[in-house]
């Protein structure tokens, strides 16, 4: 069997595509991924949209049409119109997955402006606006798990907006996001039908921890390289099992609520010394999502070996993180730094996207005379 399809059919892990672009949506590419590879969702971010919108002529007709109808529109409004159309197209392609899964899968994610990452009210308002503008029940609005994002996540779940809680790097982040989800559900008369995933970032943790281990340079330190991110993620999965298969969730489950699945994000391998499927292979398990960039998806299709590995070694995973602490590596400080850097990187990508689109807009206006 195709290893990607086996992730879902044999192990109940949903593979999602971490990529979106117009030709994929209009040329049958996403339909093929859903049909042949078992892809069950799509995620996007400002970097992905920048590559898609500015890297080809696929959006030129829409750009011209939008500007003809709205000549005074800002470049931000132009971007949003293009992005929303992509999200709608992807959501429509995934609608059968959404229906067949009983509204538990088949989602497409769209991010609120990263410049709102420290503004609870602004995040909530923009998420509600995007939810209405996209007007698809299988949309997930991406909200960062910052201190300001946590109350926004709770409020959005309470309002019935599906949320992809993103930029999570630590167990503290996980606990905060899961708590916000549970509190949001408790505020609803009917908690069924509201979906959320908790996007836990993986490979970037190893990039930071490995650098610290190499600075230490001992045999013990060097032997721990490439292991922290997987252990950290597996312990988040243990928290998921404790929360969503224990008494904290039982009453909500009885009222029809669905669990908030862990989503493994940043699963491309950054270090060429590691296997290109490392962060897929080691985190296979039920009730999880793995969102794969195109290259990682293709690699896993070619030589993935799916087997449930995310559970079963929790004691060893905890011991590994304790060994890091014994070496003087402060994982909490590293993960906090990663979240700060992640917010800044997405904000920079968003600004770069608008600047590139502004240049494209000006060039098309000049060519038109």
Convert the pLDDT of each residue in 250-280 to its tens digit.
999 999 999 999 999 999 999 999 999 999 9
> Is the pLDDT score of 114 beyond 80?
yes
Total domains, the chain: 1
pLDDT of 369 strictly over 70 = no
Mean pLDDT of the chain: 96
Segments forming the whole domain that contains residue 10: 3-367
Tell me the C-alpha to C-alpha distance, in Å, between residue 346 and each of 66, 174, 366: 25, 20, 30
**pLDDT grade, residue 367 (50/70/90)?**
confident
Domain CATH number, residue 328: 3.20.20.70
Q: What angle in degrees, to the nearest 10, is found between the helix axes of 149-158 and 120-134? A: 40
Euclidean distance between CA atoms 356 and 46, whole angstroms: 12
Contact 258, 188 (CB under 8 A): no
> Contact, 348 vs 73, CB < 8 A?
no
Identify whether the C-beta of residue 101 lies closer than 8 Å to the C-beta of residue 135: no
Provide, rounded to the nearest whole percent, the portion of the chain with pLDDT above 70: 100
**Token couple for 347:** 């904000």
Q: What is the pLDDT of residue 123?
A: 98
Could you tell me the sign of the dihedral formed by the alpha carbons of 192, 195, 196, 197, in that order?
positive
21 closest CA partner among 217, 312, 294: 294
Residues 334-349: tens digit of each pLDDT: 999 999 999 999 999 9
Helix (H, G, I), strand (E, B) or coil at 40: coil
DSSP state of 218: -
* 142 labelled catalytic: yes
Pairing of strands 13-17, 288-292: parallel
- In this structure, of 34-43, 192-201, 351-360, the range with the lowest mean pLDDT score is 351-360
Tokens of 66: 């939008």
DSSP string, 8-36: HHHH-EEEEES---HHHHHSSHHHHHHHH
Report which of 176, 198, 200, 196 is spatially closest to residue 257, judged by C-alpha positions.
Answer: 196
Question: From CA 307, how far away is CA 339, in angstroms rounded?
Answer: 30
The more confidently predicted of residues 304 and 71 is 304
Q: Per-residue pLDDT for 46 more than 90?
A: no
Q: What is the pTM of this model?
A: 0.96
Evaluate if residue 365 carries a pLDDT over 90.
Answer: no
- 171 neighbors 232 (Cβ within 8 angstroms): yes
Point out the catalytic residue in the list 5, 50, 142, 270.
142
Region 300-319 average pLDDT: 96
Report the alpha-carbon distance of residue 201 to residue 361 in Å, rounded: 34
Can you tell me the mean pLDDT for 239-249? 95
* Phi, psi torsion values for 140, nearest 5 degrees: -120, 130
């Amino acid at each position: 069997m195709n290893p990607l399809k086996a992730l879902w059919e044999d192990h109940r892990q949903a593979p999602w595509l971490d990529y979106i672009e117009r030709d994929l949506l209009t040329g049958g590419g996403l339909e093929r991924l859903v049909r042949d590879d078992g892809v069950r969702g799509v995620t996007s971010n400002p970097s992905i949209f920048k590559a898609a919108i500015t890297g080809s002529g696929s959006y030129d007709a829409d750009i011209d049409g939008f500007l003809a109808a709205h000549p005074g529109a800002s470049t931000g409004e132009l971007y949003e119109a293009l992005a929303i159309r992509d999200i709608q197209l992807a959501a429509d392609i995934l609608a059968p997955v959404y229906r067949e899964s009983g509204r538990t899968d088949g989602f497409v994610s769209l991010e609120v402006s990263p410049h709102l990452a420290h503004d609870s009210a602004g995040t909530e308002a923009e998420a509600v606006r995007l939810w209405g503008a996209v007007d698809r029940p299988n949309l997930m609005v991406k909200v960062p798990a910052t201190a300001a994002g946590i109350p926004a996540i709770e409020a959005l779940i309470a309002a019935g907006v599906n949320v992809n809680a993103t930029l999570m790097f630590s167990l503290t982040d996980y606990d905060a996001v899961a708590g916000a989800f549970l509190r949001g559900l408790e505020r609803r008369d009917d908690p069924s039908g509201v979906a959320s995933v908790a996007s836990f970032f993986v490979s970037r943790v190893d990039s930071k921890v490995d650098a610290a281990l190499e600075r230490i340079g001992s045999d013990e330190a060097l032997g721990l390289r490439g292991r922290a991110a997987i252990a950290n993620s597996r312990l988040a999965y243990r928290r998921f099992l404790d929360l969503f298969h224990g008494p904290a969730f039982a009453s909500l489950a009885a009222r029809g609520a669905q669990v908030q699945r862990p989503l493994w994000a940043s699963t491309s391998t950054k270090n060429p010394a590691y296997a290109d499927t490392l962060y897929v292979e080691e985190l296979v398990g039920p009730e999880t999502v793995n969102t794969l960039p195109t290259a990682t998806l293709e690699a896993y299709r070619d030589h993935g070996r799916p087997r449930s590995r995310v559970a079963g070694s929790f004691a060893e995973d905890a011991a590994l993180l304790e060994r890091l602490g014994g070496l003087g590596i402060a994982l909490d400080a590293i993960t906090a730094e990663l979240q700060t850097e992640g917010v800044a990187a997405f904000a920079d990508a968003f600004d770069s996207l608008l600047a590139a689109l502004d240049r494209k807009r000006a060039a098309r206006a000049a060519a038109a005379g």
